[in-house]
Amino acid sequence: MRYRHPERDQIRIDGVLSALGHPVRLAAVRVLAGGGEHNCTSVLVELGITAKSTMTHHWRVLRDGGVIFQEPSGRENLLTLRRDDLDARYPGLLDAVLAGARTDEADA
């Protein structure tokens, strides 16, 4: 299975903000922001989610919004944050959202 990913110039601000606007998706992006490729299972473990099916919708929203690349690799999918594309389209946005999320978490 191959997934469709928007090209850099097709990434829209409303799709990015919608994708980042859900706490589970934002938490997943925070994991991916550490860099490199992550398999879906490792992200689920880090988030404390036990059912893969729970994340299927969230991965699609993040992928369709242009926030992540999701590529099949054997029985897993590899996830990568599209930091370069997001920074090129909306400089500083991703860093601001991630910093805001850390602040909100500290205030809770």
Residue-level pLDDT at 106: 58
pLDDT per residue over 87-96, tens digit each?
999 999 999 9
Could you tell me the two tokens for 44?
């689920």
pLDDT per residue over 39-54, tens digit each?
999 999 999 998 888 7
Does 64 reside within a domain?
Answer: yes
Nearest Cα to Cα of residue 79 among 25, 39, 44: 39
Does 31 reside within a domain?
Answer: yes
SS3 62: helix
Q: How many CB atoms are closer than 10 A to CB 21?
A: 12
Can you give the CATH number for the domain in which 84 is found? 1.10.10.10
What length is written for the chain?
Answer: 108
Does 6 reside within a domain?
Answer: no
Does 107 reside within a domain?
Answer: no
Looking at every residue in the chain, the average pLDDT score rounds to 92
| Residue 91 domain boundaries | 11-101
- Please count the structural domains in the chain: 1
